[in-house]
């Protein structure tokens, strides 16, 4: 993995570290320092052009505006612009990014569709910024044992449902494997796919639908519970639609997975839980079943 992408992964890991005191008035989060170095390195090595660097600066600025806005008009304007920019980056529609291919048209089993994987600096940056600035993360005082148990149970249930449906529908077969690209695939999938998709769908889609603004606690009451259920279903369906390129069965499988991830987030209000479950489902799919799917 090229150095700029290693630094991007390290900046995502650093999102959980506390800010460092530079002076009485200034505190700098470690993720921001590592990310700035990653952007400079990516620009120097030709993975980013000037337009991409500008887009990433605007991305951070809009996310900060969302977290600090005190007026509703300012908040929702910044939020709408942030949503639009994140979509543009995640869908690779912003010019100036030269994302390298690391797995090029590989068939992991004889009847599998060819699979190509990119190192996406644009999508990875969306995940980092939303994770670091907007997503509710583990805090001191959280019941780690309970969250671990809920994560394990959520992974087991979601995996059985999603891959069970995929197996029953003929989308995949049971095909255990550990190809040479396994570690690269898993690392890229966790940090540049799962983090990005979960941070986006939870903070920019599910939270607004359930009536939660960035940085605020969950509201209570009967109406909130109804909104939470609607948010889970709608977010799951949108997650399925986002996988439309894989065909109808892939949409169904992704929608079921998306509902599972959304339900776990609604229950725990911690971004780590859906990220880990999402990664667990993807990893199980990759190592134990046809990946990404059987040829149609």
| Domain range enclosing 125 | 3-288
- Asked, for residue 295, whether it belongs to a domain, the answer is no
Kindly indicate the confidence band of residue 219, based on its pLDDT and cuts at 50, 70 and 90. Answer: low
Does the structure show a pLDDT above 70 at 128? yes
- Asked, for residue 49, whether it belongs to a domain, the answer is yes
Q: What percent of the chain has pLDDT over 90?
A: 78
Angle at 159 between CA 154 and CA 165, to 5 degrees: 130
pLDDT in tens, 40-49: 999 999 999 9
Rounded to the nearest angstrom, the gap between the alpha carbon of residue 86 and the centroid of all alpha carbons in its chain is 12
Work out how many domains the chain is built from and give that number.
Answer: 1
- Asked, for residue 104, whether it belongs to a domain, the answer is yes
Kindly indicate the confidence band of residue 24, based on its pLDDT and cuts at 50, 70 and 90. Answer: confident
- Asked, for residue 91, whether it belongs to a domain, the answer is yes
Does the structure show a pLDDT above 70 at 222? no
Does the structure show a pLDDT above 60 at 211? yes
Residue 21: the pLDDT is 80
Residue 112: the pLDDT is 92
Kindly indicate the confidence band of residue 246, based on its pLDDT and cuts at 50, 70 and 90. Answer: confident
Kindly indicate the confidence band of residue 244, based on its pLDDT and cuts at 50, 70 and 90. Answer: confident
Distances in Å between the alpha carbon of 247 and those of 130, 161, 172, 283, 295?
29, 19, 13, 21, 11
Residue 27: the pLDDT is 83
Helices (H), 134-247: 144-168, 182-188, 195-200, 207-209, 222-241
pLDDT in tens, 130-150: 999 999 988 888 788 899 999
- What's the rounded Cα separation, in Å, for the pair 20 and 14? 12
Angle at 203 between CA 201 and CA 205, to 5 degrees: 50
Kindly indicate the confidence band of residue 191, based on its pLDDT and cuts at 50, 70 and 90. Answer: very high
- Asked, for residue 121, whether it belongs to a domain, the answer is yes
- Asked, for residue 294, whether it belongs to a domain, the answer is no
The per-residue pLDDT of the chain, averaged, comes to 92
């Amino acid at each position: 993995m090229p150095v700029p992408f290693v630094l991007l992964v390290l900046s995502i890991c650093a999102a959980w570290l506390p800010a460092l005191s530079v002076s009485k008035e200034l505190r700098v989060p470690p993720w921001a320092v590592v990310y700035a170095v990653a952007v400079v390195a990516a620009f120097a090595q030709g993975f980013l052009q000037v337009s991409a660097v500008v887009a990433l600066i605007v991305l951070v600025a809009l996310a900060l505006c969302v977290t600090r806005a005190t007026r509703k008009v300012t908040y929702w304007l910044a939020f709408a612009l942030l949503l639009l920019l994140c979509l543009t980056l995640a869908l690779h529609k912003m010019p100036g990014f030269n994302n390298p291919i690391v797995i090029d048209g590989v068939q992991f089993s004889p009847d599998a569709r060819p699979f190509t994987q990119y190192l996406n600096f644009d999508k990875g940056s969306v995940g980092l910024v939303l994770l670091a600035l907007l997503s509710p993360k583990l805090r001191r005082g959280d019941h780690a044992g309970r969250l671990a148990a809920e994560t394990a149970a959520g992974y087991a249930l979601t995996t059985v449902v999603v891959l069970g449906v995929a197996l029953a529908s003929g989308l995949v077969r049971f095909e255990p494997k550990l190809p040479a690209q396994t570690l690269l695939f898993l690392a890229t999938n966790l940090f540049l796919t799962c983090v990005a998709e979960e941070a986006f769908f939870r903070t920019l889609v599910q939270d607004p639908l359930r009536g939660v603004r960035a940085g605020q606690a969950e509201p209570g009451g009967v109406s909130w519970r109804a909104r939470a259920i609607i948010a889970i279903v709608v977010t799951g369906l949108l997650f399925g639609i986002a996988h439309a390129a894989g065909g109808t069965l892939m949409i169904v499988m992704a929608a079921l997975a998306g509902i599972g991830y959304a339900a776990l987030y609604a229950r725990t209000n911690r971004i780590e839980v859906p990220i880990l479950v999402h990664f667990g489902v993807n990893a199980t799919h990759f190592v134990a079943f046809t990946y990404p799917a059987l040829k149609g």
